[in-house]
Amino acid sequence: MIYRIATYFLLLSLAQSNPDNVSPTPAILDGYSHFMFDFNHGVYRFIHEFGAGLAPQTPQAAPSQTDQGGGFGNIAINFVNEPLTLLSGLLIGDWATAWTAAQRFGVNSTVGVLGWYDTATDWGYPRQELDLGLVLCAYGVDAGPYLVLPFIGPRTARDAFTDVIVTNAILWTSMWMLLDPSSGLLAIAAAEAVEVVAEIAATRQIDSHAGKLEFSDYEAMRADYLAHRLERCNGLRGIASDATQD
């Protein structure tokens, strides 16, 4: 499982932590991250080219900004990312973001057919993004070294641990609630396959900025990701300080 890899890297980073900065990346981890960068680049390039080959050749009108198409990825976002944003907002004292996430979850889980459609955005509740990695950063927990996860993309050890562990916990809890206790191996295997796909879809969207990074240059992607996360963390530190004083 991906979370075991993230756990190992987090433990590896503890001896090399560095407040406010990313720790030096051990050679073995740097080699692994470069390999995963090339692997992810090849996988998503193939998916893009394969999808482009299946797309109709006739010109189509560009979708409007409020056109929220349905999809399995939306359900994963609704049942993983919205509760995660709600929890993170409560932990850091960002009540507005937490309330928006709660409203989005309520609307999309009902009118949006369990989240298949992002009805909440059409109703004036735009998606907010907040995760436990940013919360820990705002409270002073070190980032650890930079790494690239398979299929998911760039993370720090801290963000990888929180993103993947929380996503797995939510998805597996949901799966076991839906599965009959007497389910056979085939049903469990099918549930595992669905969980893996949902994990990738949901984890990639925890930080949509990171999910959209498709640079062909490793260092450029690393610099962009780390700068984006540090900027967001710095913006939350004031909120965290106020919440601690209260």
Asked if the model's pLDDT at residue 46 lies above 60, the reply is yes
The token duo for 156 is 């720090």
- pLDDT bin (cut points 50, 70, 90) of residue 164 is confident
Cα-Cα-Cα-Cα dihedral sign, residues 74, 76, 79, 82: negative
Highest mean pLDDT among 58-67, 99-108, 142-151: 99-108
Instruction: Read off the pLDDT of each residue in 8-19 and give the average, rounded to a whole number.
Output: 49
pLDDT at 28: 85
Cα dist from 96 to 90, 146, 205, whole Å: 9, 31, 20
Average pLDDT estimate for 85-104: 93
What per-residue confidence (pLDDT) applies to 63? 40
> Which has the closest alpha carbon to 240: 26, 92, 140, 74?
92
The pLDDT score that the predictor gives to residue 181 is 56
| pLDDT tens profile 66-80 | 445 567 778 877 888
pLDDT at 19: 46
- Asked if residues 168 and 93 have their Cβ atoms less than 8 Å apart, the reply is no
